[in-house]
Amino acid sequence: MSDSPIIREKAVKAPAVEPDEKATTGPALRKQVTDACKAIDNGPRVLKLYMEMCARCGTCAEQCPVYQGEPTELRNPARRSDLIRSVFKKHMTVSGKVFGPLVGGRDFDGDMQRFVDAFYECTGCRRCATFCPMGIDNSVITRKGRAIVDKLGWTPERLQKVIDISLETGNTDGANQAALKETARFLEEEIADDCGVEVRIPYDVAGAEIFFVPPSGDLLVNPEAVMGIAKVFHKLGISWTLSSRAFDGANYGLFTGDDKSMKEDNKLYIDEARRLKCKTLMMGECGHAHRIMKFMMEKAKWWGDLPFEITNVLQFTAGIIEDGAIRLDKSANPDAVTYHDPCNFGRSCGIVEEPRRIMMASCADFREMTPNRHLNWCCGGGGGLSAMDDIYEFRMNVSGKMKLKQIDETEAKFCAAPCSNCKRQLAQLMEYHKRNVTIGGVHDVVYRALVL
């Protein structure tokens, strides 16, 4: 999902689901929401626990980027989760059946738009879970809320469109194979112009060691990261390939709570990795794509045992820097730079030191934000919000507020964020608030610093 103007036009032309499928209203809708909340009784265990465990201490709100941006009652994570929890309590617990509202058990009030808006004001960043003394991860409840929304056909149009386009074309930008091939050639020329060296951006090479899956935004909108990675592979003489059919790890089913489309979207990539007979499926600078591949698909064996390993380009490059296999010239990045930990890389994948090793080896003046790593504040566009232009003001003035403050404090001129959603949100945030900070990827600085 990105902002390439040519591609966007194609995307709009792509056949999308009719926007108005909100057929269910009134008592029927009320019953469906109620039944969906009651169904949590059958598991998963984690949701069942979250329905009963909250001690109402308010720590989550204190740590929530949205509530801290501008507090309203439904932005309070515990209160938002109550939209589901109170219905579950009322119908599925002894205390709720007997005492009702006295113990927080309530029926769904029928205000579906309010329900949708509340769960689409949570960025799913999991920061609350890091601090919750009960170990409650509100993002799990948010995803459940969105799954309920999705089942009833209320998923925000913009996100549904991204999913439809992705299932149709294999990428969230709606680009076709010709566009990918053209882009690869264009990027090769760019590198040749910049560095005076022929660096290949190969695609569809069966038998290549590494099958590389970036987010499509890193090819079409912010290509410097992919150019940097291509230079690294070139320097090391490693055989690698893109796929002209599968070049976007982004998967919005994670955001809308739609497991079925998440798996369907994912399958293309596994099929392609098998077809290309790669040894390694290497995910690019995209946190949620890596999380789905490594911690959801591989762990739960969606497609059985895999004949290749799954790794991330941040781990790869950090590793070869440690081995001393490449030489980086810090003077190519003289300005103050900082690093934004995308929530999915930090809290959900545990990849926090690798990007720092890369940044510090490539830049003369690296500065940390405070707090950082797994305590980092969300960019304000997580959970798919970054793609939603109808909540632009909210993203700029509420959910992105803590992040803006953090970036300001570093006084950096460049902020790296290995995530297309973070990049879009942060770039808009800098523009909206008239800050002179460039947003890019981690391998952007490698592109500039790597000595061929």
Tell me, what DSSP letter sits at residue 281? Answer: E
Q: Would you count residue 23 as binding another protein (CB under 8 A)?
A: no
Among 1, 61, 165, 310, binds another protein (CB under 8 A): 61
Tell me: does residue 13 bind another protein (CB under 8 A). no
The span from the CA of 385 to the CA of 425, in Å, is 9
Compute the least distance from the CB of residue 294 to another protein, in Å: 10
Task: Pick the stretch among 169-177, 238-246, 271-279, 292-300 that binds another protein (CB under 8 A).
Answer: 292-300
Residue from 58, 207, 319, 334 binding another protein (CB under 8 A): 58
Q: What HEC string does 50-81 produce?
A: HHHHCCCCCHHHHCCHHHHHCCCHHHCHHHHH
Do the bridges between strand 336-339 and strand 414-416 make them parallel or antiparallel, or are there none, so unpaired? parallel
* Binding flag, residue 406, another protein (CB under 8 A): no
The verdict on 339 binding another protein (CB under 8 A) reads: no
| Contact by Cβ (8 Å): 215, 248 | yes
CA atoms of 40 and 48, how far apart (whole Å): 6
Residue 442 Rama label (left phi>0; alpha psi -120 to 50; beta): alpha
Phi/psi of residue 33, nearest 5 degrees: -65, -45
- By CB under 8 A, the residues from 231 to 270 that bind another protein are none
Contact 306, 211 (CB under 8 A): no
Q: Is 67 in the site for another protein (CB under 8 A)?
A: yes
Q: What span, in angstroms and rounded, lies between the C-alpha atoms of 1 and 174?
A: 9
* 3-class DSSP assignment, residue 212: strand
**Closest to another protein by CB, 76 or 362:** 76
Report the C-alpha gap between 442 and 215 in whole angstroms.
14
CA distance 283 to 181: 19
134 binds another protein (CB under 8 A): yes
Contacting residue, 9, 62, 111, 322, with another protein by CB under 8 A: 62
Contact 440, 222 (CB under 8 A): yes
Span interacting with another protein, options 67-75, 215-223, 358-366, 380-388, rule CB under 8 A: 67-75
DSSP β-bridge partners for residue 65: none
Per-residue binding string, another protein, 75-104, x by CB under 8 A, is: -x-xx--x----------xxx---x-xxxx
Structure tokens at 444: 């952007």
What part of residues 138-157 is at the interface with another protein (CB under 8 A)?
140
| Shortest reach from residue 118's CB to another protein, in Å | 14
Window 295-324: contact mask with another protein (x via CB under 8 A): xx--xx------------------------
For the CB of residue 343, give the shortest distance to another protein in the complex, in Å.
11
Stretch that binds another protein, among 45-53, 116-124, 200-208, 327-335 (CB under 8 A): 45-53
Q: Return the number of the residue (92 or 388) whose C-beta is nearest another protein.
A: 92
* Interface mask toward another protein for 419-448; x: CB under 8 A: ------------------------------
- 129, 427, 439, 446: residue in contact with another protein (rule CB under 8 A): 129
Pick the binder of another protein from 21, 35, 70, 73 (CB under 8 A): 73
Identify whether the C-beta of residue 70 lies closer than 8 Å to the C-beta of residue 48.
no
* Alpha-carbon dihedral 74, 76, 79, 81, rounded to 10 degrees: 100
Interacting span for another protein (CB under 8 A) from 186-194, 212-220, 317-325, 342-350: 342-350
For another protein, the closer of residues 63 and 338 by Cβ is 63
Would you say 59 or 177 has its CB closer to another protein?
A: 59
- Bridge partners of 414, per DSSP, are 337, 438
Answer yes or no: are the C-beta atoms of 236 and 326 closer than 8 Å. Answer: yes
Task: Assess 130 for contact with another protein (CB under 8 A).
Answer: yes
Residues in binding contact with another protein, number by CB under 8 A: 57
Report if residue 133 touches another protein, rule: CB under 8 A. Answer: yes
Name the one range near another protein by CB under 8 A: 117-125, 170-178, 231-239, 341-349: 341-349
CA triplet 172, 173, 174: central angle to 5 degrees? Answer: 95
| Residue 349 in the binding site for another protein (CB under 8 A) | yes
User: Binding to another protein by residue 131, rule CB under 8 A?
Assistant: yes
Say which DSSP state 242 is in.
B
Query: Could you please report the per-residue DSSP string of 99-158?
Result: HGGGGT-----S-HHHHHHHHTS-----HHHHH-TT---HHHHHHHHHHHHHHTT-S-HH
- Residue 351 or residue 427: which is nearer to another protein going by CB? 351
Q: Which residues bind another protein (CB under 8 A)?
A: 42-46, 48-50, 52-59, 61-63, 67, 71, 73, 76, 78-79, 82, 93-95, 99, 101-104, 126, 129-137, 140, 295-296, 299-300, 346-350, 352, 374-375
